[in-house]
Amino acid sequence: MYGLVYTMVRIAVNVTMSVQPFYLIKVTGFIETPDNPTPLPIALVPLVSYTTSLIFSLFIYKRMMQKLRNRFIPLLISVFVIFIGSLPYLFLNKEANVRWLVYLLSSV
């Protein structure tokens, strides 16, 4: 069971990180131009994601592991957090004035 949950976490993280740049370009409209081949949001979203992941790993994960005394429950929780954190992406588009939520959602 542990292997299945670990695999689901790795799949969720890898798919999210690989699909995010395409999502930002095609759905939210952060468009590449000849002068600017990499728009700032496309560079900032992974940076925010990796930074919050690092902060979580350094300050929260160890305490959570000590309190729960295993790795299964935190990994299972992370599958649900990633799933719930990905749902609002369905409602973002070019016309929405909430494109800034991409930064908040990428940290989840």
pLDDT number for residue 91: 79
CA 17-83-76 angle, to 5 degrees, is: 100
Spatial neighbors of 70 by CB under 8 A, at least 6 apart, are none
CA quadruple 90, 92, 94, 99: dihedral sign: negative
Structural domain spans, the chain? 2-30+39-107
pLDDT number for residue 4: 83
pLDDT number for residue 96: 65
pLDDT number for residue 102: 78
What average pLDDT values come out for the chain (108 residues) when binned by 10 residues? 79 79 78 78 83 86 81 80 82 73 78
What is the rounded CA–CA span in Å between residue 54 and residue 26? Answer: 28
